[in-house]
Structure 1
């Protein structure tokens, strides 16, 4: 029996882009529930709101500031991004 993309097991690598904001198009609860680790410029980061491996950036919260809709303000940082599943 050959495996098609629909029946193949999930890859053990995180997607190129992922966000923790449920309103984002790049949000995926199933992947986030597995736990995703992010290493940015050689340092493991735990406060990443969104990342993109191919473009080389992460978004992190800018202190405790909120926008007018109650979402945290974020800063986009450029550098080397690595992602992996914790479990």
Structure 2
């Protein structure tokens, strides 16, 4: 029987700016191997596509509206942003 001791935390540090779009220069694939959460103005948001902690904004889809390439139209909302691992 082997002892199941927890391994040290090997999660990468969360970047200041992160995007879920793989074409973005701010996409970090190693971070998305773990569950992350975004707290915006004290409430957890589940629809964030990009965030920047230092500038204090998140980008979220604007309803069901699409741009001319078929991607969701995003709006930028300013406030207090906190990123964390779940």
Where does structure 1 lack aligned partners over 5 or more consecutive residues? 1-8
Residue 26 of structure 1 and its aligned partner are, at CA, apart by 0.4
> Structure 1 length as normaliser, TM-score?
0.82
Distance in 1, matches of 2:10 and 2:78, equals 29
Structure 2 unaligned spans of 5+: 1-8
Corresponding residue pairs, total:
78
1:75 aligned partner: 75
> What residue is the counterpart of 2:38 in the other structure?
38
Q: Whole-Å Cα distance in 2 between the matches of residues 16 and 59 of structure 1? A: 14
User: Runs ≥4 in structure 1, deviation > 2 angstroms?
Assistant: 9-13
Secondary structure at the aligned position of 1:32 is classed as helix
Residues 47-66 of structure 1, C-alpha deviations (whole Å, 9 max, x = no match): 00000000000000001111
Superposed CA RMSD in Å reads 1.6
TM-score (norm 2): 0.83
Check 1:12–1:30 CA distance in 2 against 1; reply closer, same or farther (3 A cut): closer
Structure 2 contact 11–34 (Cα < 8 Å) conserved:
no
For residues 82 and 13 of structure 2, the distance between their equivalents in structure 1, rounded to whole angstroms, comes to 10
1:35 is displaced (CA, Å) by 1.7
